[in-house]
Structure 1
Amino acid sequence: MAYNDLVRSMEESAEEKISEIRSETNARVEEITRESSEKADYVHQSLLDEAHSEARDQRNRTLYQIRGEENVITTTEKERLVDEAFRKAGERLARARTDPAYGEQFAQLLTESLAAIEAMEIRVHIDPRDQDLAIGILKGKSVTAELVPDLVTAGGVEVSSADGRIRVYNTLESRLNKARNVYNKEVCRILFGE
């Protein structure tokens, strides 16, 4: 009987050990499963965060690029409109001689030019269409000037010293170019409210 009790005791002890091992194994499996699930959730969330971040960065890059292209297009269109405004002003200036006030305007341009040049010998460069007008105006001035009908201009004069080192540009075109440089921002403000 002692032998049977010993075998039974060993079997019970083995059963307890097996039960303990199973319990530990089940607990470890549950722990590994939980840890794996947590790691999978973390990796999944990290990948989602990274994907969202990359998508946001790409969206921002695209928006920046589009805004830059819009600015280039807007700036180009604004420049075109300003060019058009000055082109139309040039077209109006090309018809200046048909204006009854042109004689007075020409006299003012010539007088300003003569006053701006301090030379003994003066050359007045004019468009041949203004020769009679220039002769009449110069007769009333106390200046000796050589008329040189060598300009092609919508109106106005260029006055120079005899040696050509000093030259005053006072044509309608030169004034328009000066006005463009000086008033370009003002024209933009008027056209675009800037």
Structure 2
Amino acid sequence: MAYENLLKSVEESATERERELREKARVAIDEIKAQTRKQAEEIQQSYLSGAEKSAGVEKNKLLYLTKGENKELIITIKEKIFSSAFHEAGQQLSAVREHPGYPAIFEKLVHEAIGAVGEDRFSVHIDKRDEDLLRKTLSAMRVSCEVVTDLECAGGLVVSSPDGAVVISNTIESRLERAQERKRHEIYSVLFGG
């Protein structure tokens, strides 16, 4: 019987030891599972965070590019408005010769140009349509010069020294161009708000 008790005791001891080992193994497995879940969550969070940062960077990049494209488009539109305004002014001024006040305007242009040339001898270049008006104006001013009808313009004249070193352009088109350059900053300030 002692032998049977010994076997029974060994068996019970082995069963108890097996239960303890199984319990330790279950606890270890549960700990490993918990650590694995935690690591998986950390990795997932890291990937999500990285993806969010990448998406944020991409979003900011697209916003920046879109704002740049919008600014460029606005500048282009405002430039078209500016050019259109001066084109329309040019169209309106192309008929200035038909206006009853044109002789007075032409006389003023002649006085300005001849006064600016600063030479005793000079040539006046005009559109053929203004030849009679120029001759009357020069006669009233008691000025003698060479008259050349080689321009095609809306009105006005070009005065030059004999050697061509001094050239004063006082045509409707050149005055509009100068006005456009002078007014560009002012008009752009209104158009661009600055």
TM-score (structure 2 length as normaliser): 0.90
Match in the other structure for 1:177: 177
**Residue aligned with 1:153, SS:** coil
Cα distance, 1:120 vs structure 2:
2.7
Match in the other structure for 1:62: 62
Cα distance, 1:192 vs structure 2:
6.3
Q: Does 2:78 match 1:90?
A: no
Q: Distance in 2 between matches of 1:29 and 1:4?
A: 36
Q: Deviations over 1:99-122 (max 9, x none)?
A: 111111111111111111122311
Match in the other structure for 1:162: 162
Aligned residue type for 2:32? I
**Residue aligned with 2:159, SS:** strand
Q: Distance in 2 between matches of 1:193 and 1:33?
A: 64
**Residue aligned with 1:165, SS:** coil
Q: Deviations over 1:149-177 (max 9, x none)?
A: 11111011100001111100110100111
Match in the other structure for 1:117: 117
**Residue aligned with 1:126, SS:** strand
Q: Which consecutive residues of structure 1, in runs of 5 or more, have no partner in the other structure?
A: none
Q: Does 2:16 match 1:16?
A: yes
What is the percent sequence identity of the aligned residues? 38
Q: Distance in 1 between matches of 2:161 and 2:120?
A: 8
**Residue aligned with 1:149, SS:** strand
Match in the other structure for 2:26: 26
Deviates more, 1:56-65 or 1:74-83: 56-65
Aligned residue type for 1:108? K
**Residue aligned with 1:12, SS:** helix
Cα distance, 1:65 vs structure 2:
2.6
Cα distance, 1:71 vs structure 2:
2.1
Q: Distance in 1 between matches of 2:190 and 2:18?
A: 94
Give me the CA root mean square deviation. 1.9
Equivalent residue pairs, number: 194
Cα distance, 1:93 vs structure 2:
0.8
Q: Which consecutive residues of structure 2, in runs of 5 or more, have no partner in the other structure?
A: none
Cα distance, 1:21 vs structure 2:
0.8
